[in-house]
Structure 1
Amino acid sequence: MSGKSTEVLVIGGGYAGVMAANRLTRRGDVAVTLVNPRPDFVHRIRLHQLAGGTDAAVVAYREVLAEGVRLVVDSVTRIDAAGRAVELASGARTGYDYLIYAVGSGSADPGVPGAAEHAHPLATFEEARRLRPLLEAASGQAPVVVVGGGPTGIETAAELAEEGRAVTLVCGGVLGPYLHARGRRSVAGRLAALGVTVLDGPGARVTEVAADAVHLADGRELTSRVTVWTAGFGVPDLAVRSGLRTDALGRLLADETLTSVDDERIVAAGDSAAPSGLPPRMSCQAAIPLGARAADTVLSRIAGERPGTLRQAFAGQCISLGRRDGIFQFATKADQAVWLHADGRLGAKLKELVCTGVVKHLAAEAHKPGAYKLHQVPGATRQKLLDARDAGDARDAGVPATARQAA
């Protein structure tokens, strides 16, 4: 490729894609194109605020994207790996030397009768924007049911309850399954103070959604003017449609350098990546370091160097509980919650620091490519997780772990 620029195409302008695109501008001989279906950056961890009317959840790309990155507002419909090109919804075809696959995630198929017709998902900007006027049209005391006991469900329930709405949170299992027991008690206490009715346990599994009701496994029927669905995430099927190998969810299978197992010119990042079939938790906390690692892999290949491998370190999980309260659940680098957490106003301040800090990380990388270092945290390693996974697979197959490693 001497004598011309190396063309790198990034699909997806979320946390991972923007970080990758910005970082690629470290080399002056690399031409970076970012393809994204929206003209603005969606600050996804604020979507519950968009639904609640307290934030727009978008940031202008000029604030977070390097000037040297060409933004194409379009959608990729197919990747032609053999031809090193992508086909766009507009009918155009764009070639590349390297491609970073950062298509992110969205709502999963609920798989519950009536949910697709009567429940409103909250995993994308468009979904949150459609939900807001529905909530505004409902009276303040109209019952709202939020389905899903994870961070999005908790945050949405708290945000709406703080408006004075009558909210029921249906967990379908445990409230905040990631949280340590102490953190879970804190969250439950705050939701109770806001007036949220929390239904958890095996009986609180949704079996059907009607236009004005939600039916549970234990026979209960909940009246609902607006039903919000936050249970589970899915990924776009672009990789599957393009003939690339994926995991069961549809995430692109890659090695520990984030390189596709099918094509060394394709590198994965963010929620749509499945390195070694063992993807980290879907989150901006993982997406940004994955974007940096994906860019470093491409830059290493351009330089003729051996790419480094993934080093993922987690700090925990932060959840807002309205505008005045929150929790930061601390965790090990391997993403296991520990007893320590910060809640109340301090938790709210930490959550807000994370929300503003994410944008600052992207903007800093745009102005000074290579400035981001958190994907290189000392002591952060995936090898123990991979070894444990492989040992578990070997036990399941009745093969001693030592024999599997030798093979």
Structure 2
Amino acid sequence: MAAKATTVLVIGGGYAGVMAANRLMSRDDVKVKLINPRTEFVERIRLHQLAAADDPNSTVAVQDFGAVLNAGVQLVVDSVERIDAGARQVALASGATLDYDYLVYAVGSTGAVPVSVPGAAEFAYPLSELEQAKRLRSRLADVPVQAPVVVVGGGLTGIEAAAEFAEAGRRVTLVSTIVGPSLSKAGRRSVTKRLTKLGVAILDGPEATVTAVGPDQVALPGGLTLPSAVTVWTAGFGVPGLATASGLTTDALGRLLTDETLTSVDDDRIVATGDAASPSGLPYRMSCQAGLPLGAQAANTVLARIAGTQPADATVKMTGQCISVGRGAGTVQLARGDDTPVGLYIGGRAGAFVKEQVCRYTVKWLAGEAAKPGSYKYFQGPDRSELIAAVTAVPVR
């Protein structure tokens, strides 16, 4: 009699979840089910392009799962409402339940519009999920090109969105206490120079915060206002509350707290990866750059446990940040392996070329792993033992 297959559920079909699901197929005796609310894979790093697209039927940022997912992985189009770790079972929004032997928690992250800012939840448009990008695209189509647009937040998403809209001829103001806080001084200069050339008005400094959002303006400290027909909110990310709702231990943001093998501190049958994982309470920067290797390493942890061997610690070597500043220019900020920026960057057309190649290769790497599970290669990151030892307390829910 053939041995019973090991069932692994992967919750989330983003970069990390798809990579993990594909790699798990390297064993013939593993049955993998990927649970995702959409029938398509979303290239999240292209959502600003989708939002700016003139064509309401544009498929930029969307790929058929068949292009990136191993044919042996069963796609379950649904959402998980609760994880019952004791019963090794998940409850789906459809009312169905699924049993598992191992669970990969790859729910990703989402845009967070703060309820503390009056009017933000009602009038601001976040830009971190497919549905949000489509909603923003529809709103932009309803207002004249010359109507003012305010982008709140000077992180990478805010920079890319502001540049994309400005290059399309829109009047854009970028509001942030600092533009490109994760970049070096040289990298920030490169970004702001290009934004200015595109006509983006930059309002930065300690007082550059939005205190309220209305249907046609935003409020600033001191009673100042800015006209805004469309307010795009990119300041901050959050994570889905599934782990917290399921009674699992999380960090302060709600990411699943794990050890360095990405295994939940509550249950060695649950492994987390990507944006929703918090190894030792010291999560990697939310990015596809971290998501792909973490997805592979989460799968390796599960495969090791199935084989009865000790999983290896997960490490990610970060190399930099790639930012498109419109279609004609970009800034590639180089970094040390621990993700701290150095004073070097690649700018202009060369930067745009590198960014586009990174976007294309991200999908190519997923497709390659789908075709040949276990083939994706990644660099090991720096040892984190000293950093972990320096943490005296890990914030938990």
- Per the TM superposition, whether the score is higher than 0.5 is yes
SS in 2 for 1:51: helix
For 1:385, which of 379, 384, 387 is the aligned residue?
387
* Structure 1: gaps (5+ residues): 395-407
Partner in structure 2 of residue 82 of structure 1 = 86
Identity over the aligned pairs, expressed in percent? 62
- Whole-angstrom distance in 1 between the partners of 2:241 and 2:267: 18
- Whole-angstrom distance in 2 between the partners of 1:389 and 1:278: 9
RMSD: 1.4
Partner in structure 1 of residue 235 of structure 2 = 231
For 1:206, which of 205, 210, 219 is the aligned residue?
210
Shift, 1:2, TM fit? 7.8
Amino acid at match of 2:42: V
The alignment status of 1:118 with 2:123, answered yes or no, reads yes
Partner in structure 2 of residue 170 of structure 1 = 175
The alignment status of 1:219 with 2:205, answered yes or no, reads no
Partner in structure 1 of residue 276 of structure 2 = 272
Do the aligned partners of 1:109 and 1:234 also contact (CA within 8 Å) in 2?
A: no
Segments of 4+ in structure 1 off by > 6 A?
none
Deviations 1:77-101 (A, max 9, x none): 1001000010001111100000000
The alignment status of 1:26 with 2:30, answered yes or no, reads no
Do the aligned partners of 1:252 and 1:268 also contact (CA within 8 Å) in 2?
A: yes
Do the aligned partners of 1:141 and 1:164 also contact (CA within 8 Å) in 2?
A: yes
Do the aligned partners of 1:310 and 1:382 also contact (CA within 8 Å) in 2?
A: no
Deviations 1:283-322 (A, max 9, x none): 1111111111100000000000000001111011111011
Partner in structure 1 of residue 158 of structure 2 = 153
SS in 2 for 1:203: coil
- Structure-2 change in CA distance of 1:378 and 1:289 (3 Å): closer
Partner in structure 1 of residue 369 of structure 2 = 365
Partner in structure 1 of residue 43 of structure 2 = 43
The alignment status of 1:346 with 2:350, answered yes or no, reads yes
Amino acid at match of 1:311: T
Q: Give runs of aligned pairs for residues 233-312 of structure 1, distance below 5 A.
A: 233-312=237-316
Shift, 1:381, TM fit? 2.5
- Whole-angstrom distance in 2 between the partners of 1:385 and 1:350: 31
Shift, 1:379, TM fit? 5.6
- Whole-angstrom distance in 2 between the partners of 1:6 and 1:147: 46
What's the TM-score once normalised by structure 2's chain length? 0.96
Shift, 1:56, TM fit? 2.0
SS in 1 for 2:289: helix
- Whole-angstrom distance in 2 between the partners of 1:350 and 1:217: 39
- Whole-angstrom distance in 1 between the partners of 2:335 and 2:383: 15
Shift, 1:385, TM fit? 2.6
Shift, 1:114, TM fit? 0.8
Partner in structure 2 of residue 403 of structure 1 = none
* Structure 2: gaps (5+ residues): none
Q: Give runs of aligned pairs for residues 125-140 of structure 1, distance below 5 A.
A: 125-140=130-145
The alignment status of 1:181 with 2:190, answered yes or no, reads no
Do the aligned partners of 2:316 and 2:380 also contact (CA within 8 Å) in 1?
A: no
Shift, 1:386, TM fit? 1.9
Partner in structure 1 of residue 109 of structure 2 = 105
- Structure-2 change in CA distance of 1:363 and 1:213 (3 Å): same
Amino acid at match of 1:310: A
What's the TM-score once normalised by structure 1's chain length? 0.93
Shift, 1:357, TM fit? 0.7
Do the aligned partners of 1:204 and 1:218 also contact (CA within 8 Å) in 2?
A: no
- Whole-angstrom distance in 2 between the partners of 1:50 and 1:118: 20
- Whole-angstrom distance in 1 between the partners of 2:60 and 2:357: 17
- Whole-angstrom distance in 1 between the partners of 2:161 and 2:377: 32
Do the aligned partners of 2:113 and 2:126 also contact (CA within 8 Å) in 1?
A: no
- Structure-2 change in CA distance of 1:244 and 1:379 (3 Å): closer
- Structure-2 change in CA distance of 1:72 and 1:78 (3 Å): same
Do the aligned partners of 1:312 and 1:381 also contact (CA within 8 Å) in 2?
A: no
Amino acid at match of 1:227: T
Shift, 1:192, TM fit? 0.5
- Whole-angstrom distance in 1 between the partners of 2:375 and 2:138: 40
Deviations 1:324-346 (A, max 9, x none): 11110000000001000001000
Partner in structure 1 of residue 11 of structure 2 = 11
Deviations 1:128-163 (A, max 9, x none): 001101101111110000000000000000000001
- Structure-2 change in CA distance of 1:121 and 1:378 (3 Å): closer
Do the aligned partners of 2:318 and 2:381 also contact (CA within 8 Å) in 1?
A: no
- Whole-angstrom distance in 1 between the partners of 2:222 and 2:191: 24
Alignment: residue pair count: 389
Shift, 1:216, TM fit? 1.0
